[in-house]
Amino acid sequence: MKPFDKCPICGGDLVEKEVEKLLRGGKHTAVLRVQAEVCLRCGERLYSQELVRYFEQIRNKLSRQQVSEFQPLGQSFEITDKWPKKSFERT
């Protein structure tokens, strides 16, 4: 039995989907593809308790830099001082 029949945020219908989840720990980020209940109205994602515990284990490993079992995906970059400071304008 599912914990929710409808979205707890907006009351919309939920469907099971494969989603991409980003997890951050320290300066590291991991990308996972997992199953979630997703609201068709607002997009809220609901994860199982077991999956949430798994997310926490991964975050802890990322924070402690225990990443040897993870497959490198590329590099991440921080854009800081050269980004335009003015607001976006419609063209």
Q: How confident is the model at residue 90 (pLDDT cuts 50, 70, 90)?
A: low
Decide if pLDDT at 10 tops 90. yes
Decide if pLDDT at 26 tops 70. yes
In whole angstroms, how large is the CA radius of gyration of the chain? 18
Q: Is residue 78 part of a domain?
A: no
Whole-angstrom Cα distance, residue 54 to residue 65?
17
Q: Is residue 68 part of a domain?
A: no
Whole-angstrom Cα distance, residue 41 to residue 6?
10
What does the pLDDT read at residue 80? 77
pTM for the whole structure? 0.77
Q: Retrieve residue 65's tokens.
A: 């830099």
- Pick 78 or 91 by higher pLDDT: 78
Q: How many domains does the chain have?
A: 1
Q: Is residue 46 part of a domain?
A: yes
Domain that holds residue 38: 14-63
Amino acid code (one letter) for 33: R
Q: Is residue 30 part of a domain?
A: yes
Q: Is residue 50 part of a domain?
A: yes
Decide if pLDDT at 91 tops 70. no
Q: Is residue 89 part of a domain?
A: no
Q: Give the closest residue to 54 by CA, choosing from 32, 86, 80.
A: 32
**36-88, pLDDT tens digit by residue?**
999 999 999 999 999 999 999 999 999 999 999 999 988 877 777 766 666 66
Q: Give the closest residue to 70 by CA, choosing from 30, 26, 34, 22.
A: 30
Q: Is residue 81 part of a domain?
A: no
